[in-house]
Amino acid sequence: MKHILLVDDEEAIAYVFKRYLERAGYRVTACTDPGDALAAGSRGGIDMLVTDFRMPGMTGADLIAQLRAQYPALPALVVTAYGAEVDAAAAQVRVLNKPLPPQDLVDAVAAALAPGRPA
């Protein structure tokens, strides 16, 4: 079972996305604080990062960079209402714009984790 680290400072969004990903068969660790997410990711055992972009204390791009310093091939996806800001800050990362149907998130995660797909 693939393990997804999900980070969104809005508890309701983190909850809904977590539930959809779990229903799709993923194990999900959800965090509302990027510092907690960094600690969880640093322990290893995650297959993908799904993160918001604008969060208190750290952007999603910063979180991706710090985790990829340890795990260079870690697939990452940003889900945000500020997609234009992400493009410059997190090159080579797929961005989904909020609001979005949760199934779109599930589909994007499945595509990112598909065998043979580069991170």
Output the pLDDT for position 91: 58
Model confidence, pTM:
0.90
Tell me if 66 sits within 8 A of 34, measured CB to CB.
no
Statement: residue 65 has pLDDT above 50: yes
Statement: residue 39 has pLDDT above 70: yes
> What is the per-residue pLDDT across 78-111, written as a single tens digit (0 to 9) for each?
998 866 666 655 557 888 888 889 899 999 999 9
CB atoms within 10 A of CB 39: 11
Output the pLDDT for position 98: 86
Cα 77 versus chain centre, distance: 5
The identity of residue 100, as a single letter, is: L
CATH code of the domain made up of 3-110: 3.40.50.2300
Domain ranges of the chain: 3-110
Statement: residue 118 has pLDDT above 60: no
Distances (CA, A) of 70 to 6, 11, 21, 73: 18, 27, 24, 9
With residue 3 as reference, give the H or E element that holds it. Answer: strand 3-7
